[in-house]
C-alpha cells in the first residue's frame, strides 16, 4: 500500500502516523499524480515549499504520497520510481475525494 501523508512546510521528521493507505494505482488518479513529479527517495522527506513567502511562512500543508518498490512492482514500468510524490490536491480535496471514492 502507498502511504498518504499531510506534510507541513519545513517538516523534517514524520509523526509516524500515516494518514491514509491505498493501493498506488488508486492514488495515481485520486491524487492526480504524474511520474515526473517525483520529489525524493523514500527516506528523505520532500521539500514542500511553494516559492510563495506568504504561503511558506504560514506552515501550509501539502498532500504527499510515499510509495515503495514492492508496490510499484504491481503497477508495471510506467516511469514510476520509489519515493515521495507531491499531489496538487489539497487536504480538504483529499478528504472529499476519499469520501466520494468510498461510496
Residue with cell 510506467: 78
Which tens digits make up the pLDDT trace of 8-34?
A: 888 888 877 678 999 999 999 999 999
Sign of the Cα torsion 8, 15, 30, 28 reads positive
Which tens digits make up the pLDDT trace of 34-91?
A: 999 999 999 999 988 888 888 778 878 889 999 999 999 878 767 899 999 999 898 8
CA 75/CA 14 separation, integer angstroms? 26
What residue segments make up the domains of the chain, in order of their start?
2-102
- Output the pTM of the full model: 0.85
Whether 63 contacts 32, CB under 8 Å: no
CA 61/CA 57 separation, integer angstroms? 11
Starting at the earlier edge strand, list the strands of the sheet with 2-8.
20-22, 2-8, 61-67, 83-86, 38-40
Amino acid at each position: 500500500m502507498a502511504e498518504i501523508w499531510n506534510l507541513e512546510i519545513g517538516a523534517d521528521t514524520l509523526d509516524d502516523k500515516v494518514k491514509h493507505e491505498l493501493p498506488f494505482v488508486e492514488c495515481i488518479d485520486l491524487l492526480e499524480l504524474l511520474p515526473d513529479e517525483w520529489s525524493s527517495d523514500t527516506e528523505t522527506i520532500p521539500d514542500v515549499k511553494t516559492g510563495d513567502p506568504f504561503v511558506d511562512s504560514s506552515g501550509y500543508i501539502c498532500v504527499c504520497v510515499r510509495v515503495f518498490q514492492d508496490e510499484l512492482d504491481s503497477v508495471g514500468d510506467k516511469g514510476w520510481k520509489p519515493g515521495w510524490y507531491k499531489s496538487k490536491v489539497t487536504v480538504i480535496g483529499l478528504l472529499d475525494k476519499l469520501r466520494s471514492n468510498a461510496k
